[in-house]
Structure formats: structure tokens, C-alpha cells
Amino acid sequence: MEVRKGSHVSGVLEGEYFFNGGNLKEIPRRLVALEEGYDPGTVSRLEGLGVSQGWGCLEVGAGAGSITRWLSRRVGTNGEVLAVDLDTSYLDVSGADNVEIRQLDLRTDSLPDGRFDLVHTRFVLGHIPERVDILDSLVAALRPGGWLLLEELDSFGWGVFDSGLHADVVLACLAPLERQGFAPRFGREMPALMRDRGLVDVSAVAEAPIVAGGSPGLEWLRITFDQMMNHGLAFDVPGNGSYAEWRRLADDPEQLLVGVPIVAARGQRPIS
């Protein structure tokens, strides 16, 4: 599908998802490190929603596919999973007969209406400037009684539970991303946006993981920042530190550092 182009900012296109370009060798590991760091929390939230045999699920921005595969096993042969992404080349769903893959752009392509018991995103909407319009289409994709689970970044934990070079670097990296259309405080906006769209039983949790250097959550962050640097989205490292010094910290298992803070918000389409 054709990708809409925006204006040019610092070597990348404004509003364009650029993490799938550049150093192609790093992309699969970035997506898998993300999955290793965040799947346990996501799976427990999906279990909490009661995802079970026969459900129809929409996985939005499916990435490398670990949650698609989990949903596929969980809903079984009577259920179905539709996995969509701008770039499906990293999506591994081998052996899952109940999964349909669609390569599409959430900004311009439509999703099925009124069809799913579950619609899920993780670390997708924050990147896309048209996120609120997309949220409308995710709500519309639910069947009556269906659940929307949004899991998105919110910077609330950085600089609160940590200080020094790590906090300085992660906060500094947000400025060029914001200029590019990223919304680092979208997580906290989601519950009200969901309620305003008529969802009921809306609730949310916010988690700031504190993890060892070199663990998957930190590796995801390190690869992401390397990609930013490689794409002309370099950021100044404040104080006397350097980016090389931060990379050593992020890889050091003796360090305890705040990974990517996440807000997980859920809400249900009324049954009638």
C-alpha cells in the first residue's frame, strides 16, 4: 500500500515510521528484544481480559509476531487473528492456520468494522500523528462486548525513579522524536479518550520497569537510540556524559535502570 509522505525533518520524513529502515540487521533483534521485555506483562493483561477459545482478535502493528502467535494458540481453531502492520516482513506466524496477515497503513487503510472480541496495540499509536483518528477505527472494529487493550509508552517514569546519565539521555532522545510526530505522553491520555468514545469499564495501569543493564528492555532502548543516531535524529547528551558512556551503562548487568514506561488501558464496547 502506498505510504503517505510528510515534510522532511533532519533526514527523516515527519510522521513517517523510520525504525523499519536503516540498519536492517538490527531490526529483528530490536523487535524481539521488545517482545522479550514486554510479553510477560501483555500476556497477563490478555489473560485478565479472558481471551479464550473462539475469540476473534485484531493485533495492530504486530511487529515480529509473538503476541499474534500467543493469541493464535489461545483462541484455537474456532477463533481467528487478524495481524496488521505497515511492514509484515518481520512477522513470524509460521504454522498458525487461524492467522490472517494484512500489510496496511493505519493512517490511510481501513479496518473491518464491528468484528472483533479483542483489539490490541503495543507501542504503535505513539509513533503515528493520526493516532486519535486511528483510535476511532480501533473502537469501530470491536463487536458489542469486545475489549480494546492499548499499551503505549508514557515518559512518566524517566527522571523520577532514576537520575544521572541514563535519565538525561532517555529524556533528551524524546525531543527529536517529538518533532518527528511521536507523542511521549500519549499513554496517560488513553483512558479518557477511550471513555469519550463510549467504551465502558475503562481502567489503566502505568508501569515503569526497573531492569538490569543488558536485559531485553534495555537492549531495545539501546538499539532504538542507535537507529535514531544512524537516521540523523541525533540528540545531545546533556552534562559531561557521552553517548558511548551511556551505551556502556545500558549494557552493564550491575546497573539497575528504568526501561520504557508503559500505560496499559482497557475498555469494553457496550453490549447494547
Ligand X SMILES: C[S@@+](CC[C@H](N)C(=O)[O-])C[C@H]1O[C@@H](n2cnc3c(N)ncnc32)[C@H](O)[C@@H]1O
Residue ranges that bind ligand X, judged by CB under 6 A = 17, 20, 31, 34-35, 61, 63, 85-87, 105-107, 122-124, 127-128
**CB of residue 238 to ligand X, shortest distance in Å:** 25
**CB of residue 71 to ligand X, shortest distance in Å:** 12
CA angle 71, 73, 77 (to 5 degrees): 105
The x, y and z cell numbers of residue 186, run together, are: 500519549
- Helix 26-49 and helix 66-75, axial crossing angle in degrees, nearest 10: 30
- Is-contact 154 224, C-beta < 8 A? no
The phi and psi torsions of 243 (rounded to 5 degrees) equal: -65, -35
Quick one: 127 or 269, whose CB is closer to ligand X? Answer: 127
Quick one: 122 or 266, whose CB is closer to ligand X? Answer: 122
171-177 LR contacts (CB < 8 Å, sep 24+): 172/235, 172/236, 172/237, 172/238, 173/225, 173/228, 173/235, 175/235, 176/10, 176/228, 176/233, 176/234, 176/235, 177/228, 177/233
**CB of residue 171 to ligand X, shortest distance in Å:** 19
The phi and psi torsions of 213 (rounded to 5 degrees) equal: -55, 145
**CB of residue 134 to ligand X, shortest distance in Å:** 8
Quick one: 92 or 252, whose CB is closer to ligand X? Answer: 92
- Is-contact 119 138, C-beta < 8 A? yes
**CB of residue 180 to ligand X, shortest distance in Å:** 12
Quick one: 167 or 260, whose CB is closer to ligand X? Answer: 260
Which residue has the CB atom at the shortest distance from ligand X?
A: 63
Quick one: 115 or 195, whose CB is closer to ligand X? Answer: 115
